[in-house]
Structure 1
Amino acid sequence: MKLLTQHGSAAVVALLFCFCLTGCHLMPWGHKHVEKGKACWYGDEYKGRLTASGEPFDPMAFTAAHRKLSFDTIVLVKNLKNNRSVKVRINDRGPFVSGRIIDLSKAAARELDMIREGVVPVRIEVVRVGRRN
């Protein structure tokens, strides 16, 4: 029994190590990652600057910044004021303002009709988990 426990523990440690190396997040089957909070957007002034994922920022692409979700994760963002939704790909880190859960590109903000307001309440739901951290 002691031998089984030792090998079982080693297998669990090895499995967790592999998940960390590949950048995968442990997410149970059927579990949906959902958050509610505030979203804002960033645009032309950041055009061409490198995002945290290493790609240049394109304000006309449907992308977003999130503090924890893996890069290339696809998220459905719903503006809770007008019920408009848009899918975005996580390619940057942020926001770094308390109470905000996601920073959107200008294109995504336009789709949500939030350009004028700047900050709106949103619900975000992971559609597909990315593999890059």
Structure 2
Amino acid sequence: MTTVFFRYFSFAATAALLAACSSTPTTTSSGGKPSKYYLDDGPMKGITQEMVDALPEPVPKREPLNKFTQRPYTVLGKTFTPMTKLEPFKQRGKGSWYGTRYHGKKGSIGEPYDMLKLTAAHPTLPLPSYARVTNLENGKSVVVRLNDRGPFLHDRIIDLSYAAAMRLGYANRGSAELEVELLLP
């Protein structure tokens, strides 16, 4: 019973911490210093478009799904029911990205977030899995590995890594209209 409680509590705590995953430009101040990024979650200095464009896209492969991310969960009063198997899925809506604030911190499946890898967080898609994300405003697309839960704010459908958002051409704005299509290996 204690193990079940601990696992549930750990997952709930992780989900609550990820509730802030959303890098939307804002005028919030931090430490008396103005920042245009939500909770100062901005880009990493010194990263160029050429560096990001040179990153290899992940190749979809069958991986065991993480059983702890398949249970329904509630964040900020909203309940999410994750998919428990890989099946066709397509969604359109507003996407955002997350950056330095979460860089190096463990995500929902225990992997550290690396803002310089082509990854993403989704509230319900199976983890880990792969998706093609297309920026509907400019037609650019990228394949990402889904390995985290989120976003949970502002009805966003996906949170991309900083590198993936740069690849799609919206990192400087914070969000864009995107299409997410789950890729089946």
Range into which the TM-score falls when normalised by the shorter chain: 0.7 to 0.9
Contact 2:86-2:184 at 8 Å conserved across structures = no
Partner of 2:104, secondary structure, is: coil
Which residue does 2:162 correspond to in 1? 106
Structure 1 gaps of 5+ residues are 1-20
The answer to whether residue 108 in structure 2 is matched with residue 52 in structure 1 is yes
TM-score, normalised to structure 2, is: 0.53
1:74-85 maps to which residues of 2 (within 5 A)?
74-85=130-141
In structure 1, what is the Cα distance between the partners aligned to 2:96 and 2:154? 12
Runs of 4+ in 1 over 2 A off after TM superposition: none
Partner of 1:108, secondary structure, is: helix
Q: How much does 1:128 deviate? A: 2.4
Cα 1:107/1:26, change in 2 over 3 Å: closer
TM-score, normalised to structure 1, is: 0.73
User: Which letter maps to 1:38?
Assistant: K
Partner of 1:36, secondary structure, is: strand
More contact order relative to length (CA 8 Å, sep ≥ 6): 1
Aligned sequence identity (%): 41
Q: How much does 1:50 deviate? A: 0.5
Which residue does 1:93 correspond to in 2? 149
The answer to whether residue 99 in structure 2 is matched with residue 39 in structure 1 is no
Contact 2:86-2:126 at 8 Å conserved across structures = no
Residue 183 (structure 2) aligned to one of 106, 124, 127: 127
User: Which letter maps to 2:135?
Assistant: N
In structure 1, what is the Cα distance between the partners aligned to 2:112 and 2:91? 27
Q: How much does 1:46 deviate? A: 1.1
User: Which letter maps to 2:145?
Assistant: R
User: Which letter maps to 1:25?
Assistant: K
